[in-house]
Amino acid sequence: MVGCGAWSEVADVTAASLPGLEGRLALVTGGSRGIGRAVAVLLAAAGARVGIGCRRDTSGAEETLRRIRETAGDRCGEPWVEVADISTEDGVASLFGRLDAEYGGSLDVFVGNAGMWNPDPRPFRELASVEWRDMMDANLTSVYLTTRAAVMRMRDGGRIVLVSSTAAQRGEAGHSHYAASKGAVQSLVKSLAVELAGRRITVNAVAPGWVDTDMTSQVFEASARQRIEEEIPLGRVATAEDVAGPIVFLASELARHITGEVLNVNGGSVLCG
């Protein structure tokens, strides 16, 4: 069994191996850490101009911008961040107001990544209505509000990629509200794919399994990482970069005939009972 710490065969992704996204205008929500940060940096490495949204982690967002500048230099313009609560109408207005100022009201790539997951299991019978609403606001209402705003500004031929979860397909005991919110995202993707096809806008989802990020660190500390990895056929927990690569692929011309799909990025974990 190969653990994540021992994984040494993952080659660094270079600009030469990336699809060309020069001239594309991109927005990534939840860009201050984890998957969102990795996506933003990789989009910039591929040539896109990138803006990010974050709810409160300004220091993390600034680190993302620093990494974008380090990766892309000044060839993609200045990256930017807007701090906003995108589960609210006012927060979305703030984020997209900044986008309008930076991009002139146009958009080519939208990655809806922001969301939450509570590491503490909650049996369904004990799940309080406020917990349900908070999860839906963070993972579904925010996606509805931001994707709607993105569609209004997206140029024909654009790309929408929403981050779902393996939990939407196989369920997750103790996290039913999370699984339900991510399942709804997948249904939204399929509906929008048909609705926006006439404008050649593709809409897809990426469904990660376990990913080594700040959001999941408590679980890895509290339980044996080896047990989790033994349930993954490829034998390791994903890195944020493992998930970012497929997202950038879906944002590129290489994926121009893929829409309404859910791309699993989980090392094969959905194949195991």
Question: Looking at the annotation, which residues are catalytic?
Answer: 178
Distance of alpha carbon 229 from alpha carbon 210, whole angstroms: 9
Determine the angle formed by the axes of helices 129-136 and 176-195, rounding to 10 degrees: 30
At 29, is the secondary structure helix, strand, or coil?
strand
Q: How far apart are CA 125 and CA 185, in angstroms?
A: 24
Would you give the DSSP letter of residue 253?
Answer: G
- Yes or no: say if 116 and 135 are a contact pair by the CB < 8 Å rule: yes
The string of DSSP letters for 167-192 reads: HHHH--TT-HHHHHHHHHHHHHHHHH
Under 8 Å between Cβ of 188 and 144: yes
Q: Tell me the three state secondary structure of residue 5.
A: helix
Question: Edge to edge, what strands does the sheet with 25-29 contain?
Answer: 80-83, 49-54, 25-29, 107-112, 154-163, 202-208, 262-265
For residue 28, list its beta bridge partners.
52, 111
Report d(CA 222, CA 208) in Å as an integer: 21
Q: β-strands 80-83, 107-112: how paired?
A: unpaired
Say which amino acid occupies 100: D
Six token digits for residue 245 = 């690569």
